[in-house]
Amino acid sequence: MNFRMVIAIMFLILLLAFGIFQEIYLDKVFSQFDSMLEELTNPPDGKYDLAKTIQVEEWWDKQHSKMEMFLPHLPLNEIAATLGEFKGYVKTEDYESSTAMLTRLMVLSESLSEMSGVRIGNIL
């Protein structure tokens, strides 16, 4: 084999490895985020836990900068902004609006996860 062919094959292997890593990493992050959001739903006393809400927001802030390497910046910012709104509603004990924001977060997470995954609709 000539040198160019070896370089092309090595590049292809690296590209595939990066794609596999990206898919696994994003799946792990979104699964963890979805489970954290699920923990917030249906609180036993009907009131959302502010401490858990802050914990989720801080966790997302840490993940946000890493995920910018793989995903568009705007949807990630939309999740961060919605988390901020959710926290604000929880602080003011506006649980009706909190529920709406939590539902929005779950939908945003699901749609961004689907958008980033390797699916035939995303390839075509």
| pLDDT for 120 | 62
Residue range 74-104, pLDDT digits in tens: 999 999 999 999 999 999 999 899 999 999 9
User: Residue 57: what are its φ and ψ, rounded to 5°?
Assistant: -65, -45
- pTM higher than the cut 0.85: no
Ordered by start, the domain boundaries in the chain are 26-123
Alpha-carbon gap, residue 40 to 84, rounded angstroms: 15
